[in-house]
Structure 1
């Protein structure tokens, strides 16, 4: 299994080779933004999902105009004022970073990349420039050599590994109601479900419905071995797996406090009423109880977010204040043996770093943090 930059280079190289061969990414019909299935160079399978920054729900080149109408006609119900606009691609990659950092292994690997394809939504000006340069280069090769770029400009966005044989969670959850899982499979599913809860709570996902996380289930012919879930490695064939996709609406710079609360819809599932397992506590608590570890996570997120052209250091610190507060609540809930339902009922907390504090894991234990509770609540608490 390729990791880190090797994984990124391998997936991007295969995507670029496919595009060079005329196998272009295809736009996904579902959703409210421009996102694309990326194929391999043999056109035999889908290898990834690419989401360009400028085609996000409120991006300038979003090909699906309904979001603009929603926000224009009913701003109180559409648009998330607690999120940084057009930062969804970073949120997708950051969710993968948090997943790998905490060894949750439920988010398909996601990286920020640059891709170019004729099937992406470009402005008329970009297409005209590209066509003009191409014509000049064909007619006057010596002149064309001085062009910085001949084709369409590459787009920055998130590229997530495509997972096969998964269905929307709601598909399987309805079937589990009529045909309960075997005890050993249920224990495995509960463990992975708790990891989904941990991920969503830490990044404060504002868009986790039962239709944007996935489940893969193959009924086992014999009882499975009970062992810690540590990897998606093919060496361990699990009959049931969870994939946490669609993480673009996370990392808010404040808790929702206006019209909508954006609840976690898994809260209504029976699995959320069970206390966190010892397996989850043993995995998460040692990591998040270490302030140096948490600061290291913040620093890695900083290295990712700072590459955005619209990056604002002060806004980023607010995002980390929300995340630290979520981590504080989560560690307390794990220590007290609470359930996911009880976790989401805890007061919203902000943990802000003192002004003038320097970055770095070595200084984490000597820095001053201020804890505060959010008093303002959304008008609608159920949506």
Structure 2
């Protein structure tokens, strides 16, 4: 078992710093040389990370590996040959400088140098990177209309994150599902744009404040709704959809969202809603109303059982269609669940009353999203509706029904309110004046309920 005997930790350099390749196939743990090297003349390539440091010359009973300390740039490769007598030796004979198929990149995308990545995000990127370094390939999900990749940990036994490249979103140029390109740039949902799904995924995490307020840099506090930790990253790997071929080149780097993979027992599609705790449904309703989610269905709410008693926890995922520029496609599957008919608890009401759309917009801009005025308006109005609703003791069903259409062609109440405000506000009026008109009209509508 070549790797453990020749290059194990403490006998040369760490396992994550090297790979052994023969005829394009990796010599994995628990495998013998003879498993993939069929002749005595087979060539084995040793791939060494740039940061690797050779500590000793490892010598074993059956094999001998001689390493000369070199300045290895870009994972340069030296040749290793297995001799008939069973001795393995490596000598420096000149290094071929060419792109390698196993090269990859994973880095956080930081547009504001004042941002300090939360610890949970740093650990998420580190564990994903460790998996890539061990040669564990991204696994594309068979579900959904866009490209989503399960990223494995260093053992290859479990998933640690999900990567969604913006160029593989539905109707994007490299979408792997064969969807047609968007003619005008609009996404599958009204009020969204192709290529902005990753921004919205990250925005949902940023705006999912813990009960104590906006998330601190430590990042350990769980958000009120439990959106998994999510960050913008740039990533390069041959395992993604690259119709024009893969090369280790900056032009092939993909930008997208990296979200922590959450262990689960399926989604809400797999079971009836009556088993879900009221508080779990309510926390998701708060998130969806506030962000005007245009794609909340039972399939993107995961079900997890927490602790020995098996308490059910709901985990909201897939927020690429939240914060649209209008309310036309707002969709909430939970609207007709029995829990939505019950009033919010005092703790939830307290959380809602503390929300501030202006601060949220500033927070998104701080994190690099130059949020369009139409999206900022949506967030202001949806937060306004949620806060005014709970002040009047309205249930999630009552508030959500104002935001969602009864039929495809019948405008929702919130759409009617916005249109009425447009009709009464003078041309050239400020955004503050428009929002004040929306507030007055909304008060009048809500008081009639």
Change in Cα spacing, 1:153 to 1:211, as seen in structure 2 (3 Å) is: same
Range that drifts further, 343-352 or 25-34: 343-352
Whether 1:164 and 2:266 are equivalent positions in the alignment is no
Secondary structure at 2:252 match in 1: coil
Equivalence for 1:51: 164
Q: What SS is found at the alignment partner of 1:49?
A: strand
1:201 and 2:284 matched: no
CA offsets per residue over residues 25-53 of structure 1, 9 Å max, x none?
A: 11000111111000011212100111001
Residues 91, 247 of structure 1: 8 Å contact kept? yes
Aligned-residue CA RMSD (Å): 3.3
Which one of 206, 221, 231 corresponds to residue 111 of structure 1?
A: 231
Contact preservation (8 Å) 2:131, 2:156:
yes
Contact 2:138 2:151 in 1 (8 A): yes
Q: How far apart, CA to CA, are the structure 2 residues paired with 1:251 and 1:44?
A: 35
| Deviation >6 Å, runs of 4+ | 354-358
Q: Distance in 2 between matches of 1:42 and 1:277?
A: 43
Q: Number of matched residues? A: 295
CA separation of 1:305 and 1:250: change in aligned 2, threshold 3 A: farther
Q: Kindly indicate whether residue 195 of structure 2 is the aligned counterpart of residue 94 of structure 1.
A: no
TM superposition shift of 1:105: 4.1
Where structure 2 has 5 or more consecutive residues not aligned to the other structure, the ranges are 1-115, 216-222, 403-412, 442-449
- In the alignment, what sits opposite 1:244? 316
SS in 1 for 2:208: helix
The match for 1:344 among 394, 400, 408 is 400
CA distance in 2, matches of 1:84, 1:284: 28
Alpha-carbon offset, residue 303 of structure 1: 2.9
Aligned twin of 1:232: none
2:26 is matched with none
CA offset digits 1:312-359 (Å, max 9, x no partner): x6xx1110101110111100111111111110233315599x98989x
Q: Which residue of 1 aligns with 2:180?
A: 68
Q: Deviation at 1:150? A: 5.1
**Structure with the bigger percentage of helix:** 1
Higher relative contact order (CA closer than 8 Å, sequence separation 6+) = 1
Q: Tell me, in whole angstroms, the C-alpha distance in 2 between the residues paired with 1:214 and 1:345.
A: 23
Q: Aligned-pair distance for 1:265?
A: 1.4
- Contact 2:358–2:380 (CA under 8 A) maintained in structure 1: no
Confirm or deny: 8 A CA contact 1:90 1:305 kept in the other structure: no
Gaps of 5+ in 1: 131-148, 222-237, 359-366, 376-383
TM-score with structure 1 setting the length: 0.69
Q: Distance in 1 between matches of 2:301 and 2:167?
A: 24
